Amino acid sequence: ADLGQGIQIGQVVIRPFVDVSETYDSNIYRTDESAMEDNYFDGLIGLDGNYSSVDVNLSALGFLGTRKYSDEADLDFNYGGDVVKLRYGARERIVVEASQSFRRVTDIDRYGSAATVSGVSPDSALDVSSSSRHDVNQAALSVGRNLTDKVELDLGYRFDDVNYDRDDIVDINSHYGQAENAYKFTDKAAAFATLKYGRQEGTGDNASADYTAGRLGLKTVQTDKLSFKGGAGVQQFNPEVGEDKTAF
C-alpha cells in the first residue's frame, strides 16, 4: 500500500509505502532431495522522496524489511537500504547524474536496478541474488550531452562492492567505465554503440580480472514513461589465472 501520488510540500514529494505478504515455499533450503516446506511472512516499510526544479532532480529511497518463517526460525532475516540519485543540468548543455546505494540483501534485491544512472549499463551490477546475506555498496557518476541535434554522447563510471557474511564466498569490488554514442535517425529512435572496460578485485585465488564489452543496438522513446532499448554485442572476461572467457 502507498499514498498514490504522495504528499507534496512545495517542490518536494514524499511517498511512504508498505508491502506485506505471506508466502508458501515448497523447498525453503533449495535442495535437490528431501525438500522441506514452510510459510513465511514478508513485511516492508519505506519512504520515497523527490525534489524537482528546472535543472535539478533529487530522489531518495529508504526501506526496512523483515522475513519470518513459521517453523524454521533459523532462516529469519532483516534487510534494508537506501538509494540516492541526483541529476543536474540539461542535455542541450551538459547533464550530470550521480547515485549512491547501500543495501543489505539475503534474498531478492528489490531495488538493485534503482541505483543505475544514465551512461552506465545496469549489467555492471554484481551477483545480488544469493540466499546468503551480503552487503551491497554502489556508486555511479555519468556525464551526458547532445553534441548536435542528432548525436548524443554519454560517459559513465560505476563502483560496485559486495561483501558476504560467509568466508567461503568471494567478496568482490569492481570499477567500470563506459562510453556510449548514439545517432538519432528520427525524433524518437536512435542507433547506439557502447564500449565498456572494467576491473574486478576479489578475495581468494583467481579473483582478479579485466572485463571488456562492446554492443550495438537501437533505442526508442515512445512517451515520457515508456522507452525501449535493446542491442547485441560481445563481452570478454579475463581472469589473471586461467583461460579467457568470451560471451555473446
pLDDT digit string, tens, across residues 36-95 = 999 999 999 999 999 999 999 999 999 999 999 999 999 999 999 999 999 999 999 999
Determine the Cα–Cα distance for residues 27 and 43; give it in Å rounded to an integer.
21
Q: What is the pLDDT of residues 130-177, one digit of tens each?
A: 678 899 999 999 999 999 999 999 999 999 998 988 888 888 888 999
pLDDT for res 78: 95
Position 242 confidence tier, pLDDT thresholds 50, 70, 90: low
Indicate the burial class of 54 (C-beta count within 10 angstroms; 0-12, 13-18, 19 or more): exposed
Q: Which of 33, 45, 35 is nearest to 3 (CA)?
A: 45
Residue 1 pLDDT: 52
- Lowest mean pLDDT across 129-133, 134-138, 196-200, 231-235: 129-133
82-91 in b/e burial notation, b at 16+ Cβ within 10 A? Answer: bbbbbbeeee
Backbone angles phi and psi of 50, in degrees to 5: -145, 135
From residue 228, give the alpha-carbon distance in Å to each of 85, 191, 220, 231.
22, 12, 5, 10
pLDDT at 169: 81
From the CB of residue 166, how many other CB atoms can be counted at a distance below 10 Å?
11
Find, among 26, 108, 15, the residue nearest to 67 by Cα: 108
pLDDT in the model for residue 8 = 87
What's the maximum distance between 2 C-alpha atoms anywhere in the chain?
63
Q: What type of residue is 82?
A: D
Residue 174: its H or E element: strand 172-184
pTM of the model: 0.83
